Chain A
Amino acid sequence: MDELDPVIHASARLRITATLATLVAGDRLAFPRLQQLLGMTPGNLSTHLRKLEDAGYVEVTKAHQGRSPVTYLSLSSRGRGAFENYTENLKKLLGGTS
């Protein structure tokens, strides 16, 4: 049995990863919108995003909207793969099949 990825296996980071995984590959989500979809405080979200970024699962892009800077987030291909593996392992663990 494969172990559950400790980077994703924490409720806040699972929710972040699951939300970013709904994006079409090649799309990025603005930080305020991600925060709204998760209902998390900016500080808490930043802390967990940093852990995901350190693991190479999340890519951070800075852009400008008019004069104000906006941070965009997306799953890296490594992060997407890790999320898919995590989901698969969870299901294996629960169903005991495949």
Chain B
Amino acid sequence: MAISTDGNGFIIDPEDGAALALWASRREAKRRELVAAQQRLAALDAALASPQASAAQRESADAHDALARAHAATQTAQDRIDAADTEARRFEANDLAAAVEAVDAATRDVSTALAQLLRDSAASTSLTAAVDGLALRDRYRAATATTPPTWDHTTIPFPATPGDVIDPELALPPVDPTDGSGYRQLLAVLDRLDERVDAVADLTAAESVHQLVAGNTTRSGSSLAVASEGRVPDEFDVIRTPRPGADVLHRLLVVADPTAPAPWTTARPGPAALLDPVSTAWVAGILPDPVRVSARLRLVGPDGADLANPIDLPMSELELDPLGWIRVAAGGTELQARLALAADRRRRAGGGTPPPAGRTILDDTGPPPTGGVGLAALLAAASAAGRVLAASRALDPADLAHPADPQPAPPSKEAVEQIAQRVRDVERWTTTLVATLDAAVAAGVPDPAALVDALLAASAAGVIEAVPPLGTMANDPRELSRDLLASLATAAAGRLRLRQTPAPFAADPADPASSLTRARARADELVGMRLPLPAEVNPQLDGVATADLASGASRLGGADPATVRSWLLDHARVRPAVRALVDALDLAEAVDAAAVLDPRVTQRPSAAPDTWAGATAKPRSGVASVIVQATYGDRLPATVAGLAVDTWSQPVPAERHDTGVAFHYDRPDATPPQALLVAVHPDPSADRPVAQWDLDTLLDVVTSTMALARDRATAAERCTTAGVEVVDG
């Protein structure tokens, strides 16, 4: 098309000749139409000039007039309407104004009420009601120093008569000595203030003296310094009544037979379990056997739909040792990775088509399988056992003895060497793991499944960032990026390499105690977590205590199992470590694990008959009671190992207060002489009777001696005589 329109006009394409010809013909046609229209206009003008047309024009003018009148009438009517409307609006405005006024009044009411509320609030708030009490008290004391009191601007401006205005801003009641007057009530308040400031001053001085004579000169001075600033010290020792009494020691121990087999074990224990088989065996007793624990795992797509049938996986397939369960229960992604890996291996075990790619999720909505235990219970038990281990340290032979007993022998060098050997084993394990990781990285990750196992082993050694992202990114190790695995392995090997030492750990046979301390520190370093690492110890108990710790009726009064359990429950409310042990054993019993709460009690020094310190309000003072959670069968073995869970001393109050009454008595300041006076009778004659002393002679001797003493005190340069003159004869 040569001519187009863009909405604003025509656009002509000059290249298109045919279209141009068409446009020219259209223009000619329009010109002809214009000429015809002009001719018709001329014909119409002629017709209008005719008489018929004039009549018609007049009629038209009349019609216009009529229309104008009608318009005028309409305007009048509209004006009337407007007037009426204005009138109506005026009335409406009045109503509105009234309403607005009502709203204003209501607002004022609200405002007044709010102001009232605020005033109450302000009146109740110490922020605005603060008065410098010390300054007020100073003014009060200045006023009452005279008789009658002086009330003026410098003190407190009580007006003398009701009409008297001393301070227009203070509406104080006039001086009115009658009982119950406002003046008397205020005076009572001021008296109380004076008394309280006096009390604080006394108290501060007493505290200062108390601290001074207790040897705490710093606290003595500081309490006075605080008081001199007009403040009150926070704490006063002087007013605290000393609470006399004696202490009874309680120890809560877990004692196990180190030679007894663990309730369940795993084929590939981690480094922590290798290092600390005693704690591992004890935790295995708290946890349900993972063979009995299963979890339902689903494989889902991005939309949450199942991609394969869910599988019930026994938790034993996760190959976690008891300490490993504590580790995964504390959080992190290791549990998810292990679950995904185990589920994937289970799905592939049957052969056939490999499972589709998806996320592995734990389905914990349903009940655990019949007779079994859910994963949540296993994790809760592991957390509880972890709390006990965190609160405990290794059992020491001294824990079974009285503090006043001779120090028991430390663990034997054989026991320490046994632990040192385990430390060396784990050192070799770490070296092997580092070599495995390095080799896999160097070879370009030839076997991802083996490398994932090594990474999980590194996680078991406390390198939690080594856990591969199984379960989320992939379920099969082969589906993970080799670069990712290599970087994880490099980082893990770097962390583990820091734990390696040039020489293997060696115990010093001459010093088993410090060797044990070093071994424990090295073990913590190797596994990245704190392990109690109990050594096998000889309990070194006498026959009485050994019998106490055997099963059966107790020698001690009030030490039957139910009473001891009740006592433990009571202390669980105030001792977190006791709470952790009781909770762990509650859980163990509920999930039918191997351990049960079996407390046995002994106390040192023993007496016959004897009552257990926990079963009486007034135990013998100085008694040490030992409560043992027994995991060793009926009799205490010759060699034990275990945990010291908690130790505390229980003060037993005395029957009476040892107090004193101090009194002031102005005793004479005279003191006995520093010299002994041996007097010889002044009469040397031989015929004098031997005992012929009289009071005057004696007095003369004493007074002359005192005179000599006075002379002795005179400085030589002030002596008027040449020297001391002794009258002879």
The reply to whether chain A is a binding partner of chain B is: no
Interface residues of B (CB under 8 A from A): none
